[in-house]
C-alpha cells in the first residue's frame, strides 16, 4: 500500500482543489459580508450557517463519513449499489423529517439560537429548512463521489455552490442592497442547491449507475450494522456541531451579535479552515487507514499523515500569529482587529485538533461505535462547561478562546493512548516531543501579548518564530523518513 501512489497523488491534488477552492470562496464570501454588514452581520451569517450545518449532520447520520467508509470497504460494484440504495432511502426520510421539524418549530429555534422573536428572523429560519433539504442531497452526492474516488466531479460540486453564493453576496454588496436575514438565507439556498445539482450530475456519470440501478438494498442484518455505526457517527458529529451552536447562542445572548461576529472571525481563520484542510486529507486518509490490515501498515499510514498535518499546521499557525493584523485586514476589515486576541489562543487548540484528528480516525476506521460516541460526547461536554464558565466569569474574547484549549488537549491525550492501545507500534514518543516543542512558544506568545513590553519584544517573537519553523521542518523530515 502506498499512501500517495500515482493515482493517489492525482486524486489528492484534485480533491484538495475542491476543498481548498471552496474554502477560498467561502473566505471571500465572509469578507464581503464583513464589509457589507459589519461584525453583527458576520455573527448572524455564521449562526445561520451553523444551524444549517447542524441540521444537515443530523439528517445525514453525521455527514459523509458513514457513506465514504461504507462504499470504500465494499469492493464489489453490486454490493456498493445495494449499500447506496439503503443509504439514499434512509437519508431521504431523515432529511425530510428534519426540514419539516425546522419549518414547524421555527419560532422556538429562533428564540433559542438567535435570542430573538423577530418575525423576519422566524421567516428566515423557515426558509433555512429548504436550504437544509438541498444540503442533505448535496452531502449524499458528495459522499458517494468521495467513496468512489470520483475526484473531478467531487471538486466541481464542492466549488460550484460557494461560487454561486459569493456572486449573490457580492452583487448585493455592490448594489448596496440592505442586509436582511432572508437574503442571507437565500444565499444558502442558492449555494446548496447548486452543489446538489452538480453532485447529482456527477453521481449520474458513475459507470455503475446505469448498470446496477435496479438492485435492491441491503439485507436487514446489513442495514442494522450500517445504522448502528451511522447513528454513533451521527451522535459524535452532531455533538460537536450542536456544542458550537449552543456556545454561539450563549455568546449572542450575553454579549450580542457584534461580539459573536468578532469571535467567529478568529474561529473561521483557525478552526474552520483547519477542518476543511482535514476534510481534504480525509478523502485519501480514511479509506486507506480502513483498508490497512497489519499493524505496520497502520503505523506507516498514521505517522505519515500525522507528521504531514502537524508540520503544515505548525507552519501555518505561526505565520498567522506573526501576520495576524494584516491578515484580518485583508480577509475581513479593520473593524475586526479585536479578533486577533481569539486567533492568538485558538492556534494552540488547532494544533491539538489536527494531531488528534489523525489519531482519532482509527476509531472510525475500526468502527468502534461505543468509543466514538463516548469520546466525542465527553469532549463536547467538557467544551460546553469551559465555555459557559468563561462567559460567566470573564468578558474578554481571549478568555472565551482559552475555553477551547483544555478540551482539545484532553481529547488529544485520549486518542494517542487509544491508538497506542490498539497498535503497540504507535509509541507515544513518536509524536509528543514534537507537540510540546511546537506549542510551548505559542503558549508564551498568547500569555505574553498582554504582558510588559520586555516580555513581548521583537527578539522574543523572532525566537518563538524560529522555534516554530524548526519544529515544522523536523516534522516534515520525519514525514519523508516514514517507509511505506
Residue 215: per-residue pLDDT: 52
The pLDDT tens digits for 231-246 are 766 776 778 888 888 9
Is it the case that residue 333 has pLDDT exceeding 90? no
The model's confidence at residue 373, banded by pLDDT at 50, 70 and 90, is confident
Residue 1: per-residue pLDDT: 40
Residue 26: per-residue pLDDT: 87
The pLDDT tens digits for 13-39 are 666 677 778 878 888 898 899 989 889
Mean pLDDT of the chain: 84
| CA-closest candidate to residue 93, choices 60, 139, 141, 119 | 60
Is it the case that residue 140 has pLDDT exceeding 90? yes
Handedness of CA 409, 410, 414, 417 (dihedral sign): positive
Q: Domain coordinates of the chain in residue numbers?
A: 1-255, 292-484
Mean of pLDDT values over 477-483: 84
Mean of pLDDT values over 428-450: 90
Residue 11: per-residue pLDDT: 54
| CA-closest candidate to residue 81, choices 207, 242, 244, 230 | 207
Confirm if 229 and 66 have CB atoms less than 8 A apart: yes
C-alpha cell read off for 398: 481571549
Is it the case that residue 282 has pLDDT exceeding 70? no
The residues, any chain, with a CB within 8 Å of residue 139's CB and separated by 6 or more, are 56, 60, 63, 64
Total Cβ atoms within 10 A of residue 471: 24
Query: Regarding predicted confidence, which is higher, 304 or 343?
Result: 343
Mean of pLDDT values over 438-443: 95
Mean of pLDDT values over 80-94: 86
In the chain, % of residues over pLDDT 90: 45
**Cα–Cα distance measured from residue 277 to residue 355, given in angstroms and rounded to the nearest whole number:** 12
Residue 180: per-residue pLDDT: 92
The lowest-confidence range among 260-274, 318-332, 458-472 is 260-274
The pLDDT tens digits for 178-221 are 889 999 999 999 999 999 999 999 998 886 544 444 455 566 66
Mean of pLDDT values over 133-158: 90
In the chain, % of residues over pLDDT 70: 84
The pLDDT tens digits for 296-309 are 888 888 888 889 88
Query: Regarding predicted confidence, which is higher, 464 or 300?
Result: 464
Residue 250: per-residue pLDDT: 94
Mean of pLDDT values over 105-123: 92
| CA-closest candidate to residue 99, choices 197, 189, 214 | 189
CA 143 from chain centre, in angstroms, equals: 15
Query: Regarding predicted confidence, which is higher, 284 or 264?
Result: 264
Amino acid at each position: 500500500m502506498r499512501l500517495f501512489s500515482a493515482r493517489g497523488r492525482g486524486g489528492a491534488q484534485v480533491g484538495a482543489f475542491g476543498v481548498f477552492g471552496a474554502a477560498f470562496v467561502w473566505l471571500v464570501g465572509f469578507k464581503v459580508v464583513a464589509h457589507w454588514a459589519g461584525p453583527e452581520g458576520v455573527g448572524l451569517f455564521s449562526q445561520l450557517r451553523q444551524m444549517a450545518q447542524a441540521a444537515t449532520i443530523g439528517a445525514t447520520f453525521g455527514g459523509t463519513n458513514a457513506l465514504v467508509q461504507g462504499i470504500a470497504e465494499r469492493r464489489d460494484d453490486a454490493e456498493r449499489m445495494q449499500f447506496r440504495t439503503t443509504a439514499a432511502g434512509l437519508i431521504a426520510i431523515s432529511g425530510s423529517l428534519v426540514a419539516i421539524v425546522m419549518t414547524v418549530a421555527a419560532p422556538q429555534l429562533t428564540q433559542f439560537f438567535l435570542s430573538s422573536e423577530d418575525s423576519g428572523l422566524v421567516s428566515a429560519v423557515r426558509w433555512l429548512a429548504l436550504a437544509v433539504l438541498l444540503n442533505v442531497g448535496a452531502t449524499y452526492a458528495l459522499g458517494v463521489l468521495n467513496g468512489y474516488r470520483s475526484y473531478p466531479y467531487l471538486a466541481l460540486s464542492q466549488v460550484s455552490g460557494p461560487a454561486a453564493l459569493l456572486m449573490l453576496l457580492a452583487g448585493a454588496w455592490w448594489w448596496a442592497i440592505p442586509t436582511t436575514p432572508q437574503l442571507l438565507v437565500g444565499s444558502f439556498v442558492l449555494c446548496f442547491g447548486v452543489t446538489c445539482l452538480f453532485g447529482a450530475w456527477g453521481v449520474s456519470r458513475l459507470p455503475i449507475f446505469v448498470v446496477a440501478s435496479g438492485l435492491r438494498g441491503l439485507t436487514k442484518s446489513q442495514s442494522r450494522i450500517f445504522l448502528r455505526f451511522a447513528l454513533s457517527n451521527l451522535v459524535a458529529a452532531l455533538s460537536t456541531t450542536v456544542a458550537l451552536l449552543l456556545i454561539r447562542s450563549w455568546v449572542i445572548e450575553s454579549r450580542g451579535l457584534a461580539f459573536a461576529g468578532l469571535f467567529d472571525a478568529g474561529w473561521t481563520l483557525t478552526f474552520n479552515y483547519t477542518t476543511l484542510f482535514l476534510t481534504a486529507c480525509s478523502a485519501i486518509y480514511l479509506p486507506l487507514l480502513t483498508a490497512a490490515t497489519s499493524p505496520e501498515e497502520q503505523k506507516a499510514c498514521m505517522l505519515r499523515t500525522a507528521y504531514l498535518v502537524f508540520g503544515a499546521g505548525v507552519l501555518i499557525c505561526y505565520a498567522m500569529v506573526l501576520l495576524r493584523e494584516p491578515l484580518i485586514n485583508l480577509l475581513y476589515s479593520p473593524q475586526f482587529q479585536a479578533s486577533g486576541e481569539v486567533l492568538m489562543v485558538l492556534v494552540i487548540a488547532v494544533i491539538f485538533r489536527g494531531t488528534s484528528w489523525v489519531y482519532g480516525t482509527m476509531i472510525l476506521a475500526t468502527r468502534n461505535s461505543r468509543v466514538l460516541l463516548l469520546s466525542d460526547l465527553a469532549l463536547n461536554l467538557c467544551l460546553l462547561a469551559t465555555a459557559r464558565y468563561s462567559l460567566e466569569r470573564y468578558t474578554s474574547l481571549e478568555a472565551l478562546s482559552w475555553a477551547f484549549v483544555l478540551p482539545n488537549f484532553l481529547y488529544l491525550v485520549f486518542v494517542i493512548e487509544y491508538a497506542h492501545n490498539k497498535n503497540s507500534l504507535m509509541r507515544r514518543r513518536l509524536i509528543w516531543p514534537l507537540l510540546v516543542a511546537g506549542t510551548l512558544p505559542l503558549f508564551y506568545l498568547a500569555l505574553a501579548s498582554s504582558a510588559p513590553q520586555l516580555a513581548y519584544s521583537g527578539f522574543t517573537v523572532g525566537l518563538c518564530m524560529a522555534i516554530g519553523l524548526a519544529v515544522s521542518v523536523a516534522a516534515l523530515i520525519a514525514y519523508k523518513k516514514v517507509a511505506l
